[in-house]
Amino acid sequence: MSVLSPSMGTRRRSPSFGAAGLVAPATIYVGVGLLIPLAILFRYSLNRFVPGQFMVDALTLENYVKFFTDTYYTGVLWRTVRVAIVTTAFCVVMGFPLAYVLARTRSRYKNLLIMLVVLPLFVGNAVRAAGWMVAFGNRGLVNASLVGAGLIQQPIEIMFTETAVIVGIIAVNLPFMVLTLQSVIEGIDRAVEEAAFNLGASPIHMARRVLLPLAMPGILAGTILTFILAMNAYATPVLLGGPRFQMMGPLVYNQFVQQNNWPFGGAIAFILMIATLVLTLASSLLVQSRYRHAAG
Amino acid sequence: MDATLAPHRLDALSAGARPRADARRWGRWALNGAAALSLGFILLPLLLVTWLAFFRQEIPSFPPEGYSVRWFGAVANNKIFVNGFLLSLQVGIAATLIGLALAVPASLAIARRRFFGREPINTLLLMPLVVPGVVLGTAIYVFQIETEIATGLPVLGSTAGLVAAHALIVIPWAVRLVTASFAGFDPTIEEAAKNLGAPPFTTFRRVTLPAIRPGIVAAALFGFVMSFGNLEMSLFLVGAGRTTLPIAILQYLEWKIDPTVAAVSVLQIVLIGAAMIVTDRYVKISQVV
> pLDDT confidence of B10, banded at 50, 70, 90?
very low
- The model's pLDDT over A235-274, given as tens digits with 9 standing for 90+, comes to 999 999 988 899 999 999 999 888 889 999 999 999 999 9
Element (H, E) at B73: helix B70-76
> pLDDT confidence of A11, banded at 50, 70, 90?
very low
pLDDT over 90 at A161, yes or no: yes
DSSP B228: H
How much is the mean pLDDT over chain B? 87
Q: How far apart are the first and last CA of chain A?
A: 49
With CB atoms and an 8 Å threshold, state whether B60 touches A134. yes
Question: CA of B15 to nearest chain A CA: how many angstroms apart?
Answer: 14
The answer to whether the beta carbons of residues B55 and B67 sit under 8 Å apart is yes
With CB atoms and an 8 Å threshold, state whether B139 touches A34. yes
Q: Tell me what the mean pLDDT of segment A42-60 comes to.
A: 86
Query: Can you tell me the distance from the alpha carbon of A131 to that of A126, in angstroms, rounded to the nearest whole number?
Result: 9
Question: CA of A293 to nearest chain B CA: how many angstroms apart?
Answer: 29
pLDDT over 80 at A191, yes or no: yes
Cα separations (Å) of A163 from A92, B42, B243, B281?
18, 17, 30, 40
Domain count for chain A: 1
Task: Give, in degrees to the nearest 5, the angle at Cα A251 between A249 and A254.
Answer: 115
Range of the domain at A123: 37-295
- The model's pLDDT over A73-95, given as tens digits with 9 standing for 90+, comes to 999 999 999 999 999 999 999 99
Q: Using only C-alpha atoms, what is the Rg of chain A?
A: 25
Determine the pLDDT at residue A169. 96
Q: Tell me what the mean pLDDT of segment B59-82 comes to.
A: 88
Q: Is residue A238 part of a domain?
A: yes
With CB atoms and an 8 Å threshold, state whether B131 touches A273. yes
Query: Which B residues, 193 through 232, put their C-beta within 8 Å of a C-beta on chain A?
Result: 194-195, 225, 229, 231-232
Query: Which A residues, 237 through 256, put their C-beta within 8 Å of a C-beta on chain B?
Result: 238-239, 249, 252-253, 256
With CB atoms and an 8 Å threshold, state whether B128 touches A200. no
What percent of chain B lies above the pLDDT cut of 70?
Answer: 92
3-class DSSP assignment, residue B166: helix
DSSP string, A100-157: HHHHH---TTHHHHHHHHHHHHHH-HHHHHHHHHHHHSTTSHHHHHHHHTTS-SSPP-
Question: CA of A253 to nearest chain B CA: how many angstroms apart?
Answer: 7
* The 3-state secondary structure of B199-218, one letter per residue: CHHHHHHHHHHHHHHHHHHH
- What residues of chain B lie within 8 A of the CB of A110, using their CB? 286
The answer to whether the beta carbons of residues A233 and A172 sit under 8 Å apart is yes
Cα separations (Å) of A42 from A296, B143, B248?
43, 11, 30
Query: Can you tell me the distance from the alpha carbon of B215 to that of B244, in angstroms, rounded to the nearest whole number?
Result: 28
- The model's pLDDT over B248-288, given as tens digits with 9 standing for 90+, comes to 999 999 998 999 999 999 999 999 999 889 888 887 777 77
CA neighbor of A53 nearest in space, from A261, A203, A216:
A261
CA neighbor of A162 nearest in space, from A246, A70, A255, A78:
A246
Query: Can you tell me the distance from the alpha carbon of B12 to that of B58, in angstroms, rounded to the nearest whole number?
Result: 68
Q: Amino acid identity, residue A187?
A: G
The answer to whether the beta carbons of residues B173 and B222 sit under 8 Å apart is yes
pLDDT over 70 at A223, yes or no: yes
A285 shares contact with chain B (CB less than 8 Å): no
The answer to whether the beta carbons of residues A33 and B165 sit under 8 Å apart is yes
Determine the pLDDT at residue A27. 94
* The 3-state secondary structure of B78-113, one letter per residue: CHHHHHHHHHHHHHHHHHHHHHHHHHHHHHHHHHHC
Q: Tell me what the mean pLDDT of segment B204-231 comes to.
A: 88
CATH topology classification for B71-288: MetI-like fold (1.10.3720)
DSSP A13: P
With CB atoms and an 8 Å threshold, state whether B41 touches A174. yes
> pLDDT confidence of A294, banded at 50, 70, 90?
low
Question: CA of B28 to nearest chain A CA: how many angstroms apart?
Answer: 9
* The 3-state secondary structure of A68-81, one letter per residue: HHCHHHHHHHHHHH
The dihedral of CA B35, B222, B167, B158: what is its sign? negative
Determine the pLDDT at residue B39. 96
Question: Residue B238 forms beta bridges with which residues?
Answer: B157
Task: Quote the strand ranges of chain A, DSSP E.
Answer: 48-50, 54-56
A174 shares contact with chain B (CB less than 8 Å): yes
Determine the pLDDT at residue A67. 95
- The model's pLDDT over B152-173, given as tens digits with 9 standing for 90+, comes to 888 888 899 999 999 999 999 9
Determine the pLDDT at residue B283. 77
Q: Is residue A96 part of a domain?
A: yes
pLDDT over 90 at B57, yes or no: no
Task: Give, in degrees to the nearest 5, the angle at Cα B174 between B114 and B89.
Answer: 155
Q: Please name the member of B113, B133, B231 whose beta carbon is closest to the beta carbon of A126.
A: B231
The answer to whether the beta carbons of residues A113 and B285 sit under 8 Å apart is no
Which of A42-46, A68-72, A235-239, B22-26 bottoms out in mean pLDDT, i.e. has the lowest? B22-26
Which of A49-53, B1-5, B79-83 bottoms out in mean pLDDT, i.e. has the lowest? B1-5
- What residues of chain B lie within 8 A of the CB of A18, using their CB? 109, 113
Helical pair B133-151 and A262-295, crossing angle rounded to 10 deg: 140
Ranked by mean pLDDT, the top range of A45-54, A219-228, B42-51, B59-68 is B42-51
- What residues of chain A lie within 8 A of the CB of B137, using their CB? 253
The answer to whether the beta carbons of residues B235 and B247 sit under 8 Å apart is yes
Q: Amino acid identity, residue A269?
A: A
Which of B82-86, B139-143, B210-214 bottoms out in mean pLDDT, i.e. has the lowest? B210-214
With CB atoms and an 8 Å threshold, state whether B168 touches A238. no
Query: Which A residues, 34 through 63, put their C-beta within 8 Å of a C-beta on chain B?
Result: 34-38, 40-41, 44
Determine the pLDDT at residue A51. 78
3-class DSSP assignment, residue A232: coil
A257 shares contact with chain B (CB less than 8 Å): yes
Q: Amino acid identity, residue B257?
A: I
Query: Which B residues, 109 through 148, put their C-beta within 8 Å of a C-beta on chain A?
Result: 109-110, 113-116, 121, 124-125, 127-128, 130-143, 146
A212 shares contact with chain B (CB less than 8 Å): no
Cα separations (Å) of A35 from A24, A264, B105, B135, B150?
15, 20, 21, 12, 18
Q: Using only C-alpha atoms, what is the Rg of chain B?
A: 27
Q: Is residue A7 part of a domain?
A: no
How much is the mean pLDDT over chain A? 87
* CB neighbour burial string for B16-43, b if at least 16 within 10 angstroms, e if fewer: eeeeeeebeeebeeebeebbeebbebbb
Q: Tell me what the mean pLDDT of segment B27-51 comes to.
A: 94
Does this model's pTM top 0.90? no
With CB atoms and an 8 Å threshold, state whether B257 touches A137. yes
Query: Can you tell me the distance from the alpha carbon of A76 to that of A198, in angstroms, rounded to the nearest whole number?
Result: 52
Determine the pLDDT at residue A9. 41
Query: Which A residues, 88 through 107, put their C-beta within 8 Å of a C-beta on chain B?
Result: 94-95, 97-98, 100-102
Question: CA of A68 to nearest chain B CA: how many angstroms apart?
Answer: 19
Determine the pLDDT at residue A249. 94
> pLDDT confidence of B3, banded at 50, 70, 90?
very low
Determine the pLDDT at residue B97. 97
More reliable by pLDDT, A39 or A21: A39
Determine the pLDDT at residue A6. 40
Q: Please name the member of A122, A140, A239 whose beta carbon is closest to the beta carbon of B62.
A: A140
- The model's pLDDT over A93-140, given as tens digits with 9 standing for 90+, comes to 999 999 999 999 988 888 899 999 999 988 889 999 999 999 998 888
Exposed / middle / buried, residue B186 (Cβ in 10 Å: 0-12, 13-18, 19+): exposed
Cα separations (Å) of B240 from A117, B92, B156, B158, B281?
35, 20, 10, 10, 40
With CB atoms and an 8 Å threshold, state whether A119 touches B272. yes
Residues contacting residue B141 through CB under 8 Å, at least 6 positions apart? A256, B156, B236, B237
What percent of chain B lies above the pLDDT cut of 90?
Answer: 46
More reliable by pLDDT, B116 or A64: A64
With CB atoms and an 8 Å threshold, state whether A122 touches B113. no
What percent of chain A lies above the pLDDT cut of 70?
Answer: 92
The answer to whether the beta carbons of residues B123 and B192 sit under 8 Å apart is no
Determine the pLDDT at residue A296. 38
Determine the pLDDT at residue A288. 73
The CATH number that applies at residue A183 is 1.10.3720.10
Instruction: Provide the number of CB pairs (under 8 Å) joining chain A to chain B.
Output: 299
Determine the pLDDT at residue B289. 66
3-class DSSP assignment, residue A261: coil
With CB atoms and an 8 Å threshold, state whether B115 touches A30. no
Q: Tell me what the mean pLDDT of segment A52-77 comes to.
A: 90
Determine the pLDDT at residue B168. 96
Determine the pLDDT at residue B17. 58
3-class DSSP assignment, residue B157: strand
Q: Is residue A123 part of a domain?
A: yes
CA neighbor of B245 nearest in space, from A124, A172, A132:
A124
What percent of chain A lies above the pLDDT cut of 90?
Answer: 51
